[in-house]
Amino acid sequence: MGLGAYIAVSAALFALGIVAILVRRNVLYVLMGIEMILNAANINFVAFDRFNQSAGGGGGLEGRMFAIFVIILAAAEAAVALAIVLNVFHLFNSVKPSEADLLRE
């Protein structure tokens, strides 16, 4: 299985994530979309790392390290985001981002 396949998967995941963010009306799905994008990036990192090494390129596990950190970031971000969303839910009684639009123009 070649690099192309990984890239294809990650690209698809990336696209799906974007779409999720843009179109889902429930904020939780939106957050998931973000997670998907991050993970798409992760796939890239790991794949590129792997194939660079086999190609004898730069190597040095940089990609995988990066991936690990990104996973941590994703977790942290999810935590913060969920806290915020919770607060919003209390104040707006809704988890629909489109319904919180006091701030405009």
Partner 1 sequence: MNPYLEGLRGIQPEIVMTITALAALVFDLLLKGRESRRVGYLTLTGLALTSWFLLGQWSEAAPRTVFGMVAVDQFGNFFKLFTVAALAMVVLLVMHDHREREHGVGEYYFLLLGASLGIFFMVSTNNLLLMVLGFELLSLASYSLAGFHKGDRKSAEAAMKYVIFGGLATGIMLYGISLLYGLTGTIDLAKMGASDGGLVAQLAQSPVPVGIAMVLILAGFAYKVSVAPFHFWTPDVYEGAPTPVTTFLAVGSKAAGFGVMLRFLGAIFLRPGVADSVAAYGDRIGLLLAILAAITMTLGNFAALRQSSLKRMLAYSSIAHAGYVLIGVSCMTEAGFSAALYYLAAYYFMNLGAFGFLLYFEGVNGNDSVDSLKGMGFKAPLISIVMVAFLVSLTGLPPTVGFYGKYLLFVEGVNQGLYWLVVVAALNSVVSLFYYLRVAKALFLAKPADREAAPAPVLTGFVTAFGVATVGLGIYITPLRAWAERSLDVLRG
Partner 2 sequence: MHFLEFNPQQDFHLLFLSFVLPLVGYTIQIFFGKKLPRRGDWLLTSFMFVAMSITVLMFAKSLWAAYHGQEFRHHSGHEAGLWFHWLYSSDAAAAGTPNVSAAIYYDSLGAAMYAVVGIVSFCVHLFSIGYMAQDKRYHIFFANISLFTFAMLGLVLSDNILFLFIFWELMGLMSYLLIGHFSHDPSQSYFHRWATQACKKAFLTTRVGDTCLLIGMVIFYQHFGTFNFTELWRLAQEEVARNGGQYPTWMTVAGLFVFGGTVGKSAQFPLHIWLPDAMAGPTPVSAMIHAATMVAAGVFLLGRTYPLMSPEVLSVVAATGTFTALFAASIGTTANDLKAVLAWSTISQLGFMVAAVGLGGVVAGMFHMVTHAFFKACLFLSAGSVIHGCHHEQDMRNMGGVRKYMPVTFACMLASTIAIAGIPFFSGFYSKDMIILRAWENVLGGHFDGASFFAAVALPVAACLTAFYMFRLIFMTFFGEYRPGTVPSPFAHHGGHDDHAHGDHGHDEHGHAEHAHAGHGHDEHASHGHGHDHAKHAPAVHAHAAKAHDGHGHGAHGHADHGHADHGHAAHGHGGHGEHAKPHESPLPMLIALCVLATLGVFGGHFWPADLGHSLAFWHHAHTWFETSVTLESLYGASAPIERELLGHAGHTAHIVALSVSLTVASLGILIAYLIYGRGWERSQRIAGKITGALGDIYGVIKNKYYVDEAVGCAIVVDLEAKGNKRYEPDVSVIGGSVALGRALSWVDKNIVDGLVNLVGRTGRAIGVGSSHFDRVVVDGAVNGVGLITQTFGSVVRLLQSGRVQQYATFAVFGGLFLAAWLILL
State the residues that interact with partner 2 by CB under 8 A.
18, 21-23, 30, 97-98, 100-105
Query: Of 101, 94, 103, which is closest to residue 25 (Cα–Cα)?
Result: 94
Partner whose footprint covers residue 23, from partner 1, partner 2, none (CB < 5 to 8 Å by kind):
partner 2
| Beta carbons of 73 and 38 less than 8 angstroms apart | yes
| Beta carbons of 33 and 20 less than 8 angstroms apart | yes
In the bound state with partner 1, the residue whose beta carbon lies nearer, of 5 and 58, is: 58
Partner whose footprint covers residue 98, from partner 2, partner 1, none (CB < 5 to 8 Å by kind):
partner 2
Partner whose footprint covers residue 71, from partner 2, partner 1, none (CB < 5 to 8 Å by kind):
none
- What would the x/- binding string for partner 1 be over residues 37 to 56, using CB under 8 A? xx-xxx-xx-xxx--x----
Q: Among all chains, which residue has been given the structure tokens 């990192």? A: 45
* Site for partner 1 contains 81 (CB under 8 A): yes
3-state SS record for 31-45:
HHHHHHHHHHHHHHH
